Structure 1
Amino acid sequence: MGSEPNPVPWPARLRKAEPGQRDAIVAQAPTGWREPLRALLEGPEPEEALTRAAGLPEPIQATPWPVRLSRLLHEGSYPARLLALYPEALAGLHPEAPPADPLAALRQAVGEASLDDALGRVRSTEYLRLAAREVEGAPLEETGGALSDLVAACLQVLLEQLQLAEQVVVFGMGKLGGHELNFLSDIDLVFVHDDAIGEGDVERRRELVDLHQRLRTLVRHLEGQGKWRPLFRVDLRLRPFGSRGPLSTSVTATEAYYERHGRAWERQVWLRGRPLAGRLDLGALLLRRLTPFVYRRSVGPEIFGEIADMMRRARREATRVGGDDGDVDIKLDTGGIREVEFTVQALQLLHGGRNPGVRDTGTLPALDRLLAAGLVSDREHHQLGVAYRWMRHVEHRVQLAEGQQTHRIPGEAAARARLARRLRVGGSAASLTSTMQRHRQQVRAIAKTIGGDEELGDPRAHDLAVALDDGAPRDDRCAALQRLGVHDPAETEARLEHLRTRPDGAFASTGTSRHGAENLLRACLDSADPDAAIARLVELAATRPAHYGIWRAFAEPSPVGRDLLRLTGELLGASEPLGRGLIGFPPGRPAGPGRSGSRPDFLLGLLERASEAELPGPRTLAADLRRQLVDPRGLDATLLHFKHEQLVRAGLFDLGRRPDPLVVGRAISDVADLVLRVILRDLAAEAGVGSRFDLAVLALGKHGMQAMDYGSDLDLMFVFEPLEASPEAQTAAARLAQRLMTRLESRALGQRLYEVDMRLRPSGRQGLLVTSLTGFRRYHARRIAVWERLALLRTRAIAEVRVGEPGLVPPSFDDLDDAEPDPPGAMVAAAVPGSLCEAIEDTVSETLGWRPGPEPPPSADEMRQQTRRLKQRIEAELARENRAQGRFNAKTGEGGCLELELLVAALQLVHGPEHPAARARGIVDAVEGLGEAGVLPRDEVAALCADYRFLRLLLNRLRMSPGGRGEDPDRFSENSPRLVTLARRMGFPSRADLMRRFSDARSRVRSAFDHHLPG
């Protein structure tokens, strides 16, 4: 009896079935097959994917494969061809596959197979894995970097196998040197050997001949042999003397060539030269010697001609403009990949000699460095970076389709629609064309500003003129705004139309005022959020007609003025408190009682003071408020204007001088103290004669330790003490506290002064709004929770008033600076802390164990464990981090600012009773005090203080750089363009540098937390 024939493999069975029967076949399939089969049906090209699946080698079809393979089969024939060439490459797609290490894999494979087979097998496995990562949406930096690392590993193994590793260094040029290779790039290589080879007698010259022969063998292996060909396409034409020159030159000969014969385009080539394999020390030596050739320290007029020639050469390589309706070469046509690369390289050549910070071989890292150096705007950086990443992903997908070295996007609608589906760009030819057109136009516009061609003009000036032209069609105005970087051009066009139609407005004027308005509009377009910045610019311009001095100040700015123009645009596009503060209130209000004249434009005054050496202290703030003109709408309107003015003052100082973030936090907290005191005094005067009591206001949290940022709320606690036996005192004190909160939080003026948080009061949300001193003492005489002790550490008495006595009058501002600050740093104003605040602070000290009290504090172990549990709960419920996806929370996440604050607070609770130096309210002072007490070693003190300052600065900058609406401002994504703005505002060359610093800080903070508060 014959054996039963082999059953038809499930992929083939699915392909042969009618479309209406396929779901049933998937349901009948074994469990392991269902998900891969479903993925074949649900991708962008199901029929093609099924055909490719059915054509895979039989061993692959015999058992269920990873879902990643099914998704890859929708991309084109190349992944299937890789598997047909080497079926074992499928192992790299399994979820349990070990992390890729091509160098280790190659060294192992060389011991198991021939050299060519080893290279082919590892290359096929890694290409298949990276193709899957590309389809899964991996960032360009990952795929381009891994492809570059694969080539470097192949070169290293070939050098080792041919006994060249100690004689030669191999430089990668172009995309390989930039660590951004694509799947089917040419491999641009330059070989350089040690000076000792070939110098001297005949034997040494023979050694050089032998070296060249072995290098030719290396190239043959790298290009592939037999079934593996082509492995890589090797291009050696970038070496000295090009294709006519020797295959390898010595270090000294290479240096001499560029000194004598080096041309401008070769300087550009070596911008991306990177030693990959072999004698890396020789590579570093040569790069140092070539630095004066590549990066000229003195920039003469000739360099502008060289850059213009370079940009013209890039345009000549674009054989035509490449209309978006026909075939488009995404690399070479205008506005394509090459134009982004040449634009970045032109700026590096121009500025790299005097500014080493802009030097980098990679296009995207170099673009980040140019932003950090202020050589490209936020808008230019964002548009070039987004366009480059998108076009490189398109290039990858076009190449993966058929395994061809092509950069062409087909013009035929059906083919373009298939590509759109694979890229998930709307699924139609029109959507792909629209996206491509937008990116190419933006790149082209920016590149034109670099090239220096007379015929190119200034595209931004042209687009700006169109956007402000009443006679231009509305669609043209919207298109111009989109090219200028606006995300919602229709909304912004409507706002600008409102400005254009105001007969007295700066945008409707001619001459200096209009020029100044357009300068500020450009600064807004270059901000992190151009839509928000322009919306606020509209509000700003609506209250300042063309004759106001602010427009003249922006028309012809000095170098200092240009910085202020940039800062103004950044602040208008920054967070709501800063942007709103910059708008201010309408200038020219009537003077207050007893004063004559009208108020000058406060914005102009702010800009004039932006270069001040330090932020105002408490006495200066009180004096500034004393000089503030009274708003006819009332005291709260005056205070709101004052608060905004001081926030903008701090923001200008912060961005312009990058001070210690603790200084900025103290200044913002001092403003809050003063505003609260003035309102409290006004309310006490309004209360009139009645129940007599003292009311104290305590600040906790960030406010308590004078560490507020631009969006901080006020953590408050109220304590009162009746001056006579009266059942009405509690009610009257609660009413006064409620009225204070209402005035702080009221939106009657369009926005509130501050948001108030009362959750840290005794008993939290369930507790009384106002606690008597007796009740406060009784509550804290018992054994309170550790979280409440942690909160008490940051308690600071900020205000106190006496209510119910005759003779109290509202604040006139004339006596705000009568009191002397005591202790140093206390606010100088009416309603300063008095005897009730002293009694409260005594109770706090007893509770914390600073002085003898009725109840001993919990044990050290309990405080450590409770603090640890609190942090774990906060991290689980609030941080919402996903480290695998690069999403972090700088405040509540692992190793974040709050973790460091809780660590310090726990150590203060444990050691503060014995060591007065450890009782400081501020974190840095407390860490230093713990160091003095011997609790923390000196090196850890320095590291934690530096990390805290960094994390506080990061939180400040996060509040300046708006994320999405409704998002936690302390959260950010590692790959977000927002992080580029953050890096620049924090003084880091690139997003990667900022993330490295963040990672280092988080790691140290978490290690310290685990060490001092063990679980």
Structure 2
Amino acid sequence: MGSRSTSTSPSCAPRSRPRCRRSPRTARCSASISGCAPRARWARSQTRWRRPSATTRRSAGRGSARPGSRRGCPLRPFVFPHLTSATVIDDVRDLNRRIKRELVRPRTAGELDLKNGEGGIREIEFFVQALQLIHAGKRPGLRLRGTLAALDALLFAGLITDDEHLALWRAYRWLRHIEHVLQLEGGLQTQIVPEDDARRRLLARRLGYPGDAAFDGELRRHADAVSRLFATLGDPADERAEVTAILRGELGEDDEAAALTRLGFADVTAARAELARARRNRDSPLAPAGVASERTARIGAALLAEIAASADPDQALRAFGDLIAQRGAAWSIWRLLDENPPLIRLLGSIFGASAYLARTLVDRPELIDLLIALGQSSPSRSVAEVAADLAAVDPADPEHAWSAIAEIKNGHVLRVGLADFAGALDALAVCAELTAIAEACLDRALAIVTAQLVERHGRPPGDARLAVLGLGKLGGRELGYAADLDVVFVYTGDDGVSDGPAPLDTVEWFQRCARRLLGALRQTTPRGRLYELDARLRPSGSHGLLVISLAGWRRYHAEEARLWERQALTKLRPVAGDRTLGDDVARLAADTVYGQPPDAAGGARAIADAILQMRERIERELGIGIDRRRITGDLKVGAGGIIDIEFAAQYLQLAHGHAHPALRTTATVPALEAAAAAAIAPARDLELLAQGYRFLRKIEHRLRVVHDQPIHRLPQARGELDKLARRSGYPDGGVLLEHVERWQHDIRAAYLRLLA
């Protein structure tokens, strides 16, 4: 094993020193061993600490590739056996105590060990590794080396809740960041937060905190959360005692109400009514003891416990009551849940997270297969894959066709929602998936409407084609849950009339096609609504025809387009209809936006001033001006909201896209990243805006997915804000609001620096 550096300077030595103490021969012998030696050593003696450390083993890279690349294979039976010792949790806890005893030296009250102390990095790693040791023998998907990757896998497998996952994920990222700052500052391998007030305040300021008190509070919150979760390893599961007492009918009315309150139910009367409804069905998992079978009683206790642990127990219990009311004991899902207990946790979590997704699952319980697939296959689907599902829709019965499209759409949105809450998709990946679903539905709906028109009115004359162009978040592949679709319709064709039994002239034919498409997608079907289409960004605005000819489009944007319309065109791309025509329109739009240098629009300063004025006008009209320093709770249009970030990215595109082709993208974050790569704006501000965009979109996702409504204001009621906070991984609404306000303050400052 070669050293990475021969330098012995204090700043380099800690980072270049190989760590050999976990070699099978320990520090007393050579660290370089033959490819078969580890297997022999492990076969003879499995010291308790070696199995946790081996979960992160990988090849060092240099030297012989063959032994290193195969080293994990011979050790797997020893690290991840199919039958795990009952003492594995005790072994991990003993190792943690040993580390604290031997490595954590006595310190003053002000000093903290980020790595080995209570609630530190080591406890997160041991928590993850303990669960890997127990379950990875039979679940190969859990055999991951990285702590964060393993955390995700444990969540997908249902072995930890989404709250536990988020708490550990955030704590690990935060603690490692502090550790890196400490080590970069001193050039030493240290994890100790200094006791000295001056050094502590300096560290806090470097991390972006106003003072050491705020930093200490954040440190304590993360450490307490980690410590509490680590303490649950191996502890008896007594949290279901009250659940069992409720299901067995052992509690009186007042005691049951008190128990439900302690479990987290806000409307105890409604909760007791839901339980009573479920108990009346003898096939229900919540049926009283002595009526339900042993299996259904076991499932019921586990489900009620997970419902109580969800973000909204009242909502989750209502959804579960609906599920029970529609299904009997013969339903295979009960056997499936009994055989796969982690699915119970995922089911309770999604029921408490979104009434919309819960309703989809209640209506189509066969979609529970999505829970099983989660973590075993990619949660992503392309437009073509979604379109393949939609191709089976029979357009012969229009009413049934739209309901069938809505049903397929809801199933795919459920797939995305499950992966979203499980952490398999980040905020931008969720946007991309939802956009793919919308595109496929839009294209299939257009095909059905076109076929209906052709049947009655025939085809328009000549080379008649229609393209649907996406703008806004549809164009940027940034759709959220319950999003509207911003579109424009561009057609080409000869003058004349169609060749059907009820002929129409060309313009009217395409106008009717666009109008029917809008009406079909916005209707409410038995399976819910599809999409609201917004065509107000067309050249005629909200007045006039819905469609415009290709010649009219070219003429308008060459002669009359204003700056805000050029700004909107930064997001344009073809999404449905004739793709050749759509590509032609996209090229015209790119030439309109990027074809001339910014001096043609008065220069970068004039562009910035126009965008600032437009943003100020939006704020004035909504009464949320920054000058009033009013916190609006509006994630989208409020000061420091999503629009600030989008306008900043579009300013950079309009001002610099002519000279920098990499900026010519329809998506916000890639535009910011391209600007950073081109060094046309401060990298720190661009990174802040990109991260702020991800943060705000994630909270917006959590806000909209509950009832599938296009809302972007935080709830005013404290109870609803608390529920949103729990869905978003925060302990309560106050903490969430604090984070939102801090992000929006920083986003507004960065936006003004870029444009002002």
Q: TM-score, normalised by structure 2?
A: 0.62
Name the structure 1 match of 2:672.
927
1:370-381 paired onto structure 2 within 5 Å: none
Name the structure 2 match of 1:747.
524
Q: Secondary structure at the match of 1:498?
A: helix
Following superposition, the deviation at residue 665 of structure 1 comes to 0.8
Contact 1:513/1:547 (<8 A) preserved: no
Q: 1:740-765: per-residue Cα shift (whole Å, max 9, x none)? A: 22221111315201222233222332
Q: Secondary structure at the match of 2:574?
A: strand
Which residue type is aligned with residue 485 of structure 1? G
**Cα distance in 2, alignment partners of residues 1000 and 778 from structure 1:** 45
Confirm or deny that 1:703 pairs with 2:484: no
Name the structure 2 match of 1:512.
295
Confirm or deny that 1:690 pairs with 2:432: no
Following superposition, the deviation at residue 355 of structure 1 comes to 8.8
Q: Secondary structure at the match of 1:486?
A: coil
Name the structure 2 match of 1:787.
564
Q: Secondary structure at the match of 2:542?
A: helix
Name the structure 1 match of 2:543.
766
Contact 1:719/1:771 (<8 A) preserved: yes
Following superposition, the deviation at residue 284 of structure 1 comes to 2.3
**Cα distance in 2, alignment partners of residues 356 and 686 from structure 1:** 55
**Cα distance in 2, alignment partners of residues 296 and 554 from structure 1:** 33
**Cα distance in 2, alignment partners of residues 672 and 618 from structure 1:** 9
* Structure 1 residues 780 and 464: CA distance shift in structure 2, 3 A: farther
Which residue type is aligned with residue 609 of structure 1? L
Name the structure 2 match of 1:529.
312
Name the structure 2 match of 1:164.
none
**Cα distance in 1, alignment partners of residues 122 and 607 from structure 2:** 61
Contact 1:665/1:708 (<8 A) preserved: yes
Confirm or deny that 1:570 pairs with 2:349: yes
Following superposition, the deviation at residue 705 of structure 1 comes to 0.5
Contact 1:372/1:989 (<8 A) preserved: no
Q: Which has the larger radius of gyration?
A: 1
Confirm or deny that 1:609 pairs with 2:374: yes
**Cα distance in 1, alignment partners of residues 242 and 419 from structure 2:** 33
Which residue type is aligned with residue 706 of structure 1? R
* Structure 1 residues 953 and 730: CA distance shift in structure 2, 3 A: same
Q: Secondary structure at the match of 1:890?
A: coil
Name the structure 1 match of 2:487.
716
Q: Secondary structure at the match of 1:971?
A: coil
Name the structure 2 match of 1:270.
none
Name the structure 2 match of 1:649.
415
Which residue type is aligned with residue 617 of structure 1? S
Contact 2:120/2:226 (<8 A) preserved: no
**Cα distance in 2, alignment partners of residues 566 and 930 from structure 1:** 43
Contact 2:316/2:352 (<8 A) preserved: yes
Name the structure 2 match of 1:284.
110
Contact 2:403/2:525 (<8 A) preserved: no
Q: Secondary structure at the match of 1:664?
A: helix
Which residue type is aligned with residue 710 of structure 1? Y
Name the structure 2 match of 1:486.
265
1:539 pairs, out of 322, 344, 356, with: 322
Name the structure 1 match of 2:205.
none
1:72-111 paired onto structure 2 within 5 Å: none
Confirm or deny that 1:874 pairs with 2:618: yes
Following superposition, the deviation at residue 700 of structure 1 comes to 1.4
* Structure 1 residues 670 and 769: CA distance shift in structure 2, 3 A: same
* Structure 1 residues 557 and 935: CA distance shift in structure 2, 3 A: same
Q: Secondary structure at the match of 2:409?
A: helix
**Cα distance in 2, alignment partners of residues 901 and 707 from structure 1:** 11
**Cα distance in 2, alignment partners of residues 289 and 503 from structure 1:** 52
Alignment identity in percent? 29
Contact 1:523/1:570 (<8 A) preserved: yes
Q: 1:773-826: per-residue Cα shift (whole Å, max 9, x none)? A: 3333333233333322222211121111xxxxxxxxxxxxxxxxxxxxxxxxxx
Q: Secondary structure at the match of 1:906?
A: helix
Contact 1:504/1:545 (<8 A) preserved: yes
* Structure 1 residues 548 and 885: CA distance shift in structure 2, 3 A: farther
Contact 1:714/1:754 (<8 A) preserved: yes
Q: Secondary structure at the match of 1:768?
A: coil
Name the structure 2 match of 1:948.
693
**Cα distance in 2, alignment partners of residues 934 and 363 from structure 1:** 36
**Cα distance in 1, alignment partners of residues 509 and 116 from structure 2:** 79
Name the structure 2 match of 1:836.
581
**Cα distance in 2, alignment partners of residues 550 and 1012 from structure 1:** 55
Name the structure 2 match of 1:661.
427
Q: Secondary structure at the match of 1:698?
A: strand
**Cα distance in 1, alignment partners of residues 423 and 436 from structure 2:** 20
Q: 1:909-961: per-residue Cα shift (whole Å, max 9, x none)? A: 12223332221111122123323444224444434333322332232233346
Q: 1:217-276: per-residue Cα shift (whole Å, max 9, x none)? A: xxxxxxxxxxxxxxxxxxxxxxxxxxxxxxxxxxxxxxxxxxxxxxxxxx9xxxxxxxxx
Q: Secondary structure at the match of 2:528?
A: coil
Following superposition, the deviation at residue 511 of structure 1 comes to 2.5
* Structure 1 residues 644 and 682: CA distance shift in structure 2, 3 A: same
- The number of equivalent residue pairs is 557
Contact 2:476/2:667 (<8 A) preserved: yes
Following superposition, the deviation at residue 672 of structure 1 comes to 0.6
Following superposition, the deviation at residue 987 of structure 1 comes to 5.9
Contact 1:520/1:554 (<8 A) preserved: no
Q: 1:655-700: per-residue Cα shift (whole Å, max 9, x none)? A: 2235432211111100110111111111111222524142221221
**Cα distance in 2, alignment partners of residues 837 and 620 from structure 1:** 21
Contact 2:704/2:711 (<8 A) preserved: no
Which residue type is aligned with residue 698 of structure 1? L
* Structure 1 residues 995 and 502: CA distance shift in structure 2, 3 A: closer
**Cα distance in 2, alignment partners of residues 584 and 916 from structure 1:** 48
**Cα distance in 2, alignment partners of residues 909 and 752 from structure 1:** 36
The structure showing larger relative contact order (alpha-carbon pairs under 8 Å, at least 6 residues apart) is: 2
Following superposition, the deviation at residue 649 of structure 1 comes to 1.4
* Structure 1 residues 759 and 465: CA distance shift in structure 2, 3 A: farther
Q: 1:268-299: per-residue Cα shift (whole Å, max 9, x none)? A: xxxxxxxxxxxxx9542488999579999799
Following superposition, the deviation at residue 840 of structure 1 comes to 1.9
Contact 1:761/1:767 (<8 A) preserved: no
Which residue type is aligned with residue 681 of structure 1? A
* Structure 1 residues 486 and 881: CA distance shift in structure 2, 3 A: farther
Following superposition, the deviation at residue 857 of structure 1 comes to 4.5
**Cα distance in 1, alignment partners of residues 118 and 658 from structure 2:** 62
Q: Secondary structure at the match of 1:527?
A: coil
**Cα distance in 2, alignment partners of residues 374 and 742 from structure 1:** 55
Which residue type is aligned with residue 869 of structure 1? Q
Confirm or deny that 1:670 pairs with 2:449: no
Following superposition, the deviation at residue 640 of structure 1 comes to 1.7
Q: TM-score, normalised by structure 1?
A: 0.48
Following superposition, the deviation at residue 708 of structure 1 comes to 1.1
Following superposition, the deviation at residue 503 of structure 1 comes to 5.0
Confirm or deny that 1:734 pairs with 2:511: yes
Contact 1:369/1:989 (<8 A) preserved: no
Contact 2:619/2:638 (<8 A) preserved: yes
* Structure 1 residues 520 and 288: CA distance shift in structure 2, 3 A: closer
Following superposition, the deviation at residue 873 of structure 1 comes to 2.8
**Structure 1: tracts of 5 or more residues without a match:** 1-266, 268-280, 301-346, 377-449, 588-600, 801-832
Following superposition, the deviation at residue 990 of structure 1 comes to 8.2
Name the structure 1 match of 2:405.
639
Q: 1:338-368: per-residue Cα shift (whole Å, max 9, x none)? A: xxxxxxxxx9xxx9xx999999999998996
Q: 1:408-445: per-residue Cα shift (whole Å, max 9, x none)? A: xxxxxxxxxxxxxxxxxxxxxxxxxxxxxxxxxxxxxx
**Cα distance in 2, alignment partners of residues 850 and 289 from structure 1:** 55
1:97-496 paired onto structure 2 within 5 Å: 283-285=109-111, 291=117, 369=222, 458-466=241-249, 481-496=260-275
Name the structure 2 match of 1:205.
none
Confirm or deny that 1:907 pairs with 2:652: yes
Q: Secondary structure at the match of 1:715?
A: strand
**Cα distance in 2, alignment partners of residues 494 and 701 from structure 1:** 45
Contact 2:370/2:415 (<8 A) preserved: no
* Structure 1 residues 482 and 997: CA distance shift in structure 2, 3 A: closer
